[in-house]
A = this chain, B = another copy of it.
């Protein structure tokens, strides 16, 4: 079937799904969990095929590890689905209520966005997580996973679709795309798709952002900074920088550029160098840095580079404002941290740095939906609209205004014969 038809089916299903009773959605989620457990051998067999083919094709070891879908990953996704079942229905929640006049009541209520297109990396467990999040939030979903995982994805998709639709989810609410050409087509279907969420490499996300005229929620780069202020505790500032750089280098919230106040550079840089080099980090620096520690020169491009590896660029700055200015020019709006004992400096940094996550005296690595307590994570967004930073289920919801009247026309209000009362109402929307 062509992608446009799949997208049309998803849009039709989205309307019904938006109004589906919460108990039916939970029944469908429960059916998905049961089906995954009951038919796990089918999924594992498909996964073995993917693993065997990918090994033959020489897929790198970390990607092989992500591709693997075993009992442990199954149990994790099933536990995630059970968590979602236990949550209240996030749809049709009254966010605000106002009496406009006697018998004319306005309610702002949450509702799903509609049809979400998700493009994700090699992990097949992401397919289960994303589709169960979409179901709970009442959104239809078009899924495109990594081609390495195509057999596993197809097996998971079949189980999810069958189990959820048998339990009352509208037919067509979940659709699977399987080729790169499918994705290219999807990006032109803004008539049917309301939001694209790309999860994958930076260049891939950038490509999606540049080639789609529908809203995209994601982040192309994570160029994160730690700034060590003049009076910082040197031990703390070394520990935070080393943790942010080395605890897991391949993630978007890892440190890429370290900024150091010139007043503390002589004390801090040698200590930092020793600790970083003990962890195998390759340092490059600005001229002022290199006048204190002996490291290679950073090129201008280093300040705009997300290494995602054991490499770190280091710059000595004049002061707090110089650091803020550097971050706002070169950062990617993801996560930036200041190490300082000075509350005023922290306040200035947190207010003036334009990033989704601004941290004081802790590692940049904390920016994560699970860490933040948001529950299941949709992704991390560095845009400035709708949702920013780690995005939980809230990012899949918007609202509509329901106005309940008793025959009112605008005429008497426009003519000044009646006036709006604009009283706050307690209680939920009755319909």
Contact = CB atoms under 8 A, between A and B. Distances in A.
Per DSSP, chain A at the interface is mixed
Nearest to A430: B343
Contacts of A236: 407
A357 B400 contact: yes
Contacts of A352: 15-16, 18-19
Contacts of A357: 400-401, 403
A352 to B, nearest CB: 5
B384 A398 contact: yes
Q: How many copies does the complex hold?
A: 2
A203 interface: no
Contacts of A16: 352
A303 to B, nearest CB: 16
Interface in A353-389: 354-363, 365-367, 371-373, 383-386, 388-389
Interface string A92-106: 100000101000101
Contacts of A413: 371
Interface stretch (A58-66, A239-247, A269-277, A285-293): A239-247
A194 interface: yes
Interface of A: 14-16, 18-19, 92, 98, 100, 104, 106, 113-114, 194-195, 210, 213, 215, 233, 236, 239-240, 242-244, 247-248, 324, 328, 343, 346-348, 350-352, 354-363, 365-367, 371-373, 383-386, 388-390, 398-411, 413-414, 420, 422, 430-431
Contacts of A195: 384-385
A324 B420 CA distance: 30
Contact of A362 (B104, B361, B373): B104
A45 to B, nearest CB: 32
A113 B403 contact: no
A220 to B, nearest CB: 13
A351 B138 CA distance: 12
Contact of A405 (B19, B359, B410): B359
Given A372-B98, A372-B106, A385-B398, A409 B354 contact: no
Contact of A388 (B351, B355, B399): B399
B354 A15 contact: yes
Tell me which of A244, A343, A360 has the highest count of chain B C-beta atoms within 10 A of its own C-beta. Answer: A360
A282 to B, nearest CB: 21
A15 B248 CA distance: 31
Contacts of A389: 400-401
A100 B366 contact: yes
Contacts of A194: 384-385
